[in-house]
Structure 1
Amino acid sequence: MAETVTREDSGGVATLTMLRPGLSSASRQELLGYVRDIAADESVRAVLLTGTGRAFCVGQDLHESRARREAPAGPPEEPDQPLAVLVDEYNPLVLALSRLPVPLVVGINGACAGAGMGLALTGDLRVAAAGAKFTTAFAGVGLSSDSAVASRLVHCVGGARATELLLLPEPFLAETAAHWGLVHRVVPAEEVRAEAYALAARLASGPTVAYRAIKTVLATAATDSLEETLDLEARLQQVAGRTADHREAVAAFLEKRPAQFTGH
């Protein structure tokens, strides 16, 4: 089977590169395997997810979809194929990326569409190529949304704009995405990987336990009550306050020198 995703580790950063623009079953499973391995790897303190060529990810591989649709129907007791693909492959991948215990930077090197937008929006920080095109795409091919694109869009741009983007899936550029808050930085296409890696490397040299706590709070901040948020913050702050990184940061501040974080 041809390789569809690569992993490179350097300086506490695990870089995952998707080699094909379309998400095939093989690429989904390969990417999920890497993400699960990374989640259990304590040497990884930040992750970079990016693509190659002119596209970051354009969603489902439509050639694979057509082949699956034209295949003979299975026995009645077999699960519905589109449902099984989402439940068994897409949903676990989106959840695994969203639940990474370390910061995730996404380098959007080119076109980003459909489920590819779902992958991009799992990132804690997103760097996009100038002029890169985004589109929700789903309605354009007669489908509803998946990969948590609807909920992410509502969170990032609000319900009214999310509705428009899903019902009228017209392309928009990275610059517009930045104005709406969908991406954090826009740089020339040839600088996306370097800029995204620089962010990931900065995060990999930071207070890893504190970052994990911040990600945990952010994951529920929009839905928890004030009391629940305060309670969660207190419990996580107790953990972070006992780390060597916190002690080092205080000492560095008092000694007027840069802190040297170890991630513990």
Structure 2
Amino acid sequence: MKQSSRRTFIKDSAKTTVILGVGAMVGGSIIEGCGSSKKTAAAIPSKIKTPFDQQALPYSYAALEPYIDAMTMEIHYTKHAAGYTKNLKDAAQAEGVTDTSSVENVLANISKYSTKMRNNAGGHYNHELFWKSMKSNGGGTPSGNLLTAIETKFKSFADFKTAFNDAAKSRFGSGWAWVIVNNNKDLEITSTPNQDNTLMDISEKKGIPLLGLDVWEHAYYLKYQNKRPDYIENWWNVVNWQFVQDRYKTIVG
């Protein structure tokens, strides 16, 4: 082979290798995007995004009596929840999180971060939603589009409540029970361990939390001891359905 022909052959071979390599990457991406069963959480409306700072409790520690006692509320808010917020900020700084505009941004990529980040980002987000979803003289039933969605999915509010109670009671150890709006904008009931939630990319079920119940023992043990079912049943008396309905409207549009 002549020298010039050899150079041309090597050059053309290199081009072909690059083209094939790019084609393989593009092809792989297309196949993964079309065939993967892994779903990501739906986009979060900016109106309901959660800041990194702990927000003020929207009522007094005693406001949810007799269903949730004042001492539990004070310890829960000032010790447990405040600790999650502090540790979240520490983890974010240590792990180079530059976008601290909302916790949801971290939760969506939680698999990239440490266990400390997972526990505390989840704990902070979960509690910020939990406080807002309760109020003094709450309870009753929802109305409007949310009630329609509940009755469409679960046949009746009573059946919905039973399904949620079962999820909360059967969560082994510590965790949360959730009503979520899934990627199809349908309601779904699920539960997660520890401080996980359905916004995390590691979650088996994904969706935007609409309503959540903390079933860690620190949320109820001073008043209810080991009687988690009693705590769950009484919690319905403080649910802030107006907040939940407004949140549902924001999510589904």
Structure number having the greater strand percentage = 1
Q: Which has the higher contact order (CA 8 A, sep 6+)?
A: 2
Higher helix fraction (1 or 2): 2
What TM-score does the superposition give when structure 1 sets the normalisation length? 0.24
